[in-house]
Amino acid sequence: MKIDIKEIYSDGNAKLDDIEEYITKIKTLVKTGEDVVITGAGPIWLYLKIAHALHGLATSLTYNSPVTGDVVIFNHNPF
């Protein structure tokens, strides 16, 4: 599953006060055991909170950007 972080917050600017809403939205999108790729414009604190929230839910989490390409954040796939 691929998630564009910019689509998580609606008004153009992520707000720290709305973090629980963003995390709830992410958790409704991701099913247990999925491989997730996060991409798109967003503040680093939001990326970090999403990574923390998905640990234990997603099997793997990868960050993708045009500059870095794929960066594996975690991978708990035993294969």
* Whether pLDDT at 59 is above 90: yes
Q: Which of 57, 53, 5, 61 is nearest to 35 (CA)?
A: 61
Cα–Cα distance for residue pair 79/76, rounded to 1 Å? 9
pLDDT tens digits along 10-53: 778 899 999 999 999 999 999 999 999 999 989 999 999 999 99
pLDDT interval class at 79 (50, 70, 90):
confident
Q: Which of 78, 65, 64, 70 is nearest to 33 (CA)?
A: 78
pLDDT tens digits along 42-56: 999 999 999 999 999
What's the pLDDT at 47? 94
Burial 12-39 (b: 16+ CB within 10 A, else e): eebeeebbeebbebbeeebeeeeebbbb
